[in-house]
Amino acid sequence: MEKTEQRSASSPGFVVLRQAPDGQWQLLGEIRRKPGLTARAARSQAILDATDGAAKDGEVYAAVLRSEWRVALDWLPPNE
């Protein structure tokens, strides 16, 4: 289930992904960053929020800053 929280375009947040057993990445959603937490704690909280607390040891998750996700999508083909 993909989650997307209400947010403004400039509010900090994470894109949360889970790695499936076949190695493919599944988008779980975009989660707003909780203020007052360290970077590591904020990523962990985003994963817990995206999974409704169901994240388990042994599963592989990634919480990528939304701003970095957008930069990664801004690809231009090389000049030929």
Q: For the chain, how many structural domains are there in total?
A: 1
Is residue 12 assigned to a domain? yes
| The predicted structure's pLDDT at residue 73 | 77
Is residue 43 assigned to a domain? yes
Is residue 53 assigned to a domain? yes
Q: 13-51 in b/e burial notation, b at 16+ Cβ within 10 A?
A: bbbbbbeeeeeeeeebbbbbbeeeeeeeebbebbbbbbb
Task: Note down the domain range covering 9.
Answer: 3-73
Is residue 79 assigned to a domain? no
Q: Which residues of the chain have pLDDT under 70?
A: 1-10, 80
Is residue 34 assigned to a domain? yes
Q: What is the value of pTM for the model shown?
A: 0.77
Is residue 80 assigned to a domain? no
